[in-house]
Amino acid sequence: MKIDKVKISDIAKALEISTISVSRALSGQTGVGNELKSKILIKAKEMGYFKAKNNDDIRILVLHQKPFVQNTSNYSHMVQGIEKAIQKIGCQYDLEFLDKDRQDELYLPCKIQKGINFDGIIFIGRFNNEYVDFISSKIKNQVFYTGYSPSFDCDSVWYNFNNGGYKQCECLIKKGHTEIGFLGDSSVYKNKEKVLGITSALEDYKLQARKELFIYEEKFEDKISRIMKGKNVPTAIICQWDYTAIKLIKCLYEKGIKVPEDISVIGSGNTEMSSLFMPALTTLELNIDYSCEVAVALLLKRINKPDKPYENIAINSILVERDSVESYK
């Protein structure tokens, strides 16, 4: 059942006063006595009246933290993308770097210490639960950008790594690959989603997911050597990031294994290095600029409708095919 939005005229009718008096009270103008103003504000809250803020009256805090080494290029792109999206809609904002040590200390961001009030906050990256709870007492409206966790009940914008892993694997399967591996950190939630996408594609195409070809070690060089000398040799490996893929290709090259002639490799992120490296990497374009716009729009939606259900928006990626993948012969 549709519930009509409460209007100024509804409040005026309920109190049997003029709409002008209600409008002045709600906007903080003079011309209304304190007692009447109090009655109007109480009645407005009681009836569920909510006035959306103009964008130029909204102030947003953006907190970001030190990125992983292999994510530096895209991390900078994400921070700049959020700034650009906020500037585009005309809100005021402050940007602050906050590393994990300061999170552990429950450090209060500088602008809040100076008494500045914020209507909302965007977290870029993964922040620990204790710190999020701490900031929640200072800023009610929050959006997590790329820092999604199933433990958070909040608004978030995320990359659909499940879909991305499926696309990567399906691309390889259609080029004749059947022995497909993965290289990445198993403790990172995004990689769990990516592995789910990869194994789902293998299952859909009636192929076996070989556990021994899924490498979850940061120092993977020795394991790669053992695998490439074994019986079940992968014909293709999907990597968690472009940086990981480049490290893998270098490792393979040092062992006399050529990419893509002997094995195909796929990265993720479509960073600048992916197109400059030799061979140029097949990778995933994450649509960062668009995802930043979605994150900012989601925060505005929360600010102007604070009682709405929480949303988790997953942005699909685009497969960019280059030279590091070759059909299996």
188 shares a domain with 112: no
Instruction: For 108-156, write each residue's pLDDT tens digit.
Output: 999 999 989 899 999 998 898 899 999 998 998 999 999 877 877 899 9
Residues 272 and 182 in one domain: yes
Give the pairing type, strands 92-97 and 59-64.
Answer: parallel
CB 143 within 8 A of CB 123: yes
Identify whether residues 74 and 178 lie together within a single domain: no
CATH of the domain at 87: 3.40.50.2300
Same domain, 246 and 312: no
Same domain, 23 and 135: no
- The closest of 112, 131, 117 to 57, measured between CA atoms, is 117
pLDDT value of residue 3 = 45
- Residue 13 and residue 73 in one domain: no
What range defines the domain where residue 295 resides?
Answer: 55-160+288-316
For the stretch 66-119, pLDDT in tens is: 655 545 568 889 999 999 999 999 999 999 999 888 999 999 999 999 989 899
How many domains is the chain partitioned into structurally? 3
Q: What does DSSP say about strands 214-215 and 141-145: parallel, antiparallel, or unpaired?
A: unpaired
Q: Are residues 59 and 42 in the same domain?
A: no
Confidence band (pLDDT; 50, 70, 90) for 256?
very high
Q: Above 50 in pLDDT, residue 222?
A: yes
Q: What is the mean pLDDT of residues 44-64?
A: 84
Cα four-point dihedral sign 84, 86, 89, 90: negative
149-187 pLDDT, tens per residue?
A: 787 789 999 999 999 999 999 999 999 999 999 999 988
What is the structure's pLDDT at 4?
61
Residues 88 and 169 in one domain: no
Residues 194 and 210 in one domain: yes
| Beta strands at 264-266 and 318-320: parallel, antiparallel or unpaired | unpaired
- Same domain assignment for residues 182 and 252: yes
